């Protein structure tokens, strides 16, 4: 069921989004360095969330009877999503995706970024840029009166125009009192299909793309999704709300 948010609920999500936006744009960026382990980054993330009166809801999140053990997913190079933090250290030339979800005053916020570690290859930088730009192409179509399929098609069309591939195993989703609620927002498909976008709809819009793959497989840890060919991937995500005045990104820092 699609649950539209009231102005009061949107205001709460905007407050929580400012916390998560500040984490991604400030705190995490300062830790994406050669020699830093992904578990070190996760510890910084958890501390920041708790100090800002929010809850790191990925920690203990249960899928198929198995609970996730950390406060963030930190995926490197060919890892698309859901990699648990570990003692793995970042190397120059890596690209690393940090995906974080929080609960604030009863509402969930979800966002992700892919960062370069120092200077990276042209392909890696293209993937990072294309994932971000495709998010904004999708956001242009997150408009009251349009359909969810219009978002999906605009993302796919843009990504493919840049010579990259949309990952088809994962998608965006409705979000609110639950991390996943209401509907799926695919990153590929035909325009004019799916539910009509209404004011108060909140979604986590999250293109995931790769150099040479549309599909993934899950590693033996039961969580980490990697590209089948071992090619690089990138991910960009924000929680957004549809308003009559236009779409608004909720997971951004407010100065």
Structural domains in the chain?
7-249 (3.90.230.10)
Mean pLDDT of 46-56: 97
Of the listed ranges 14-28, 38-52, 123-137, the least confidently predicted one is 14-28
Q: What is the mean pLDDT of residues 153-179?
A: 97
Q: Which residue has the tokens 């609970």?
A: 67
Work out the mean pLDDT of the chain and round it to a whole number. 96
Say if residue 28's pLDDT is above 60: yes
Label residue 70 by pLDDT band (50, 70, 90).
very high
Q: What is the pTM of this model?
A: 0.96
Question: Given a cut of 80, is residue 254 above it in pLDDT?
Answer: no
C-alpha 199/C-alpha 47 separation (Å) is 34
Q: Per-residue pLDDT tens for 127-153?
A: 999 999 999 999 999 999 999 999 999
pLDDT of 223 strictly over 90: yes
Task: Give the lowest-confidence range in 25-39, 87-101, 104-118, 152-166.
Answer: 25-39
Euclidean distance between CA atoms 186 and 183, whole angstroms: 10
pLDDT, tens digit (0-9, with 9 covering 90-100), for 81-112: 999 999 999 999 999 999 999 999 999 999 99
pLDDT at 19 over 90: yes
Q: Record the tokens describing residue 196, joined without a space.
A: 């009509």
pLDDT of residue 25: 84
Q: What are the structure tokens assigned to 35, written together?
A: 């020699």
CA distances from 99 to 41, 127, 144 (A): 11, 17, 27
Residue 255 has a pLDDT of: 52
């Amino acid at each position: 069921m699609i649950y539209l948010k009231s102005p009061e609920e949107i205001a709460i999500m905007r407050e929580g989004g400012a916390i998560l936006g500040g984490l991604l744009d400030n705190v995490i960026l300062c830790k994406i360095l050669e020699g830093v382990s992904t578990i070190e980054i996760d510890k910084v993330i958890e501390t920041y969330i708790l100090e800002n009166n929010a809850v790191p809801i990925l920690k203990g999140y249960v899928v198929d009877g198995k609970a996730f053990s950390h406060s963030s997913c930190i995926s490197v190079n060919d890892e698309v999503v859901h990699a648990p933090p570990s003692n793995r250290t970042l190397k120059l030339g890596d690209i690393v995706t940090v995906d974080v979800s929080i609960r604030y005053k009863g509402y969930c916020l979800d966002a992700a970024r892919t960062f370069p570690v120092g200077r990276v290859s042209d392909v890696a930088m293209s993937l990072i840029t294309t994932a971000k730009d495709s998010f904004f192409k999708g956001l242009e179509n997150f408009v009251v009166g349009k359909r969810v399929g219009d978002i999906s098609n605009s993302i796919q069309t843009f990504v493919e125009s840049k010579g990259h591939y949309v990952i088809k195993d994962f998608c965006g989703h409705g979000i609110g009192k639950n991390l996943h609620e209401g509907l799926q927002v695919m990153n590929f498909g035909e325009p004019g299909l799916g539910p009509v976008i209404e004011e108060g709809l909140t979604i986590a819009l999250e293109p995931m793309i790769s150099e040479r793959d549309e599909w993934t497989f899950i590693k033996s840890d039961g969580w980490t999704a990697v590209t089948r060919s071992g090619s690089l991937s990138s991910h960009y995500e924000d929680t957004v709300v549809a308003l009559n005045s236009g779409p608004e990104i909720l997971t951004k820092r407010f100065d």
